[in-house]
């Protein structure tokens, strides 16, 4: 089936934007994404035109939402303050990035693992976790692995978790899973919480500080007002904004502005 996307949509940039760690560009030029028990391959075939290997029904019910295609990112870029030259340049360079609507539990575990790890190391650890405990799913005769369920992770010992290159994060994961089960927390019930209450709740998990909580809120709950401040963004704040947090000027879309700055700073280094 073919789909048309006229708004910002660059799959390379989305994969490299650091919000997802299981998506891949394949050797045949296709991009592969996984969410829940679904997988899709997307092949760009002409400007704005893509070939996808799922039904129209699945695209509309799963992937259209996943890629946040009802949001106008061009319009969001155009809302950037003209005086904010750095963000203007960052957004122009990074246009095509979208915030994926990912699973909140997967994001919680993923970003606990992410701390003090390089992106390839995060991908490696998540991959090992899926190999260890992910359900095998078939998509058109091709097998792939879902992200492990909370029940599966609950049954893993510390040693088994550590065998997935989690290091000291293994105990964070185990304690977080224990807390979820003991308190019978349903993370998808938290969609009604305010941004502030959500982040506060997330920070009650062991191994979740303000940075990870904001990542989970932004990528797992689509809280686009949350801008996680990591080492890269902190560099930008020091180098460009004289130590002042630039996101206070963008209360609604701070998280999207953060993505533009993060990608730009990592890709091209110090620019003012």
Partner DNA sequence: GCCCAGGTGATTA
Partner DNA sequence: TAATCACCTGGG
CA dihedral in degrees (215, 219, 225, 228; nearest 10)?
20
Listed ranges 25-33, 72-80, 167-175, 242-250: which one lies at the site for DNA (CB under 7 A): 167-175
Backbone angles phi, psi at 202, to 5 degrees: -60, -35
- Give the residue, chosen from 64, 167, 195, 201, that forms a contact with DNA under the rule CB under 7 A: 167
Among 32, 169, 223, 265, binds DNA (CB under 7 A): 169
Quick one: which of 108, 30, 36, 31 has its CA closest to 66?
36
- In the complex, what is the shortest distance from the CB of residue 43 to DNA, in angstroms, rounded to a whole number? 24
Tell me if 179 contacts DNA by CB under 7 A.
no
Pick one of 9, 50, 66, 262: the residue that binds DNA (CB under 7 A): 262
Distance, CA of 88 to CA of 261 (rounded, Å): 10
Full DSSP string of 111-151:
HHHHTT--HHHHHHHHHHHHHHHPPEEEETTEEEEPPPPHH
Q: Which of residues 53-112 bind DNA (CB under 7 A)?
A: none
Site for DNA contains 138 (CB under 7 A)? no
- DSSP structure class, residue 81: -
Q: How far apart are CA 100 and CA 21, in angstroms?
A: 12
User: Contact 51/45 with Cβ under 8 angstroms?
Assistant: yes
Number of residues that bind DNA (CB under 7 A): 35
Kindly indicate which of the ranges 2-10, 12-20, 30-38, 84-92 contains the residues binding DNA, using the contact rule CB under 7 A. 12-20
Residue 211 touches DNA, criterion: CB under 7 A = yes
Report the alpha-carbon distance of residue 62 to residue 15 in Å, rounded: 18
The window from 66-74, 136-144, 147-155, 163-171 that contacts DNA (CB under 7 A) reads: 163-171
215 is a site residue for DNA (CB under 7 A): yes
Angle, CA of 199, 229 and 243, to the nearest 5°: 130
Tell me if 195 contacts DNA by CB under 7 A.
no
One residue of 209, 238, 244, 268 binding DNA per CB under 7 A: 209
Residues that bind DNA (CB under 7 A): 17-19, 114-121, 124, 162, 165-169, 171, 203, 205-213, 215, 228, 230-232, 262
């Amino acid at each position: 089936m073919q789909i048309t996307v006229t708004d910002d949509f660059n799959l390379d940039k989305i994969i490299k934007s650091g919000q997802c760690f299981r998506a891949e560009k394949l050797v045949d030029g296709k991009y592969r994404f996984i969410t829940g028990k679904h997988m899709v391959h997307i092949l760009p075939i002409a400007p704005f035109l893509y070939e996808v290997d799922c039904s129209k029904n699945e695209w509309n019910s799963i992937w259209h939402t996943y890629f946040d295609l009802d949001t106008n990112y061009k319009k969001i870029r155009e809302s950037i303050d003209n005086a904010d030259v750095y963000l203007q340049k960052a957004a122009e360079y990074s246009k095509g990035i979208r915030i994926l609507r990912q699973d909140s539990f997967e994001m919680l575990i993923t970003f606990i693992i992410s701390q003090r790890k390089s992106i390839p190391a995060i991908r490696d650890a998540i991959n090992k976790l899926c190999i260890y405990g992910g359900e095998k799913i078939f998509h058109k005769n091709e097998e792939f692995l879902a992200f492990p369920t909370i029940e599966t992770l609950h049954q893993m010992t510390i040693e088994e978790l550590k065998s997935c290159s989690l290091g000291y994060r293994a105990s964070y994961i185990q304690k977080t899973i224990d807390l979820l089960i003991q308190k019978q927390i349903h993370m998808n019930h938290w969609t009604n919480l305010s941004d502030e209450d959500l982040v506060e709740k997330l920070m009650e998990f062991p191994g979740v500080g303000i940075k990870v909580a904001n990542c989970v809120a932004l990528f797992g709950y689509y809280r686009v007002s949350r801008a996680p401040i990591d080492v890269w963004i902190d560099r930008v704040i020091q180098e460009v904004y004289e130590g002042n947090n630039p996101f206070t000027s963008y209360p609604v879309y701070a998280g999207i502005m953060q993505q533009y700055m993060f990608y730009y700073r990592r890709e091209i280094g110090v620019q003012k």
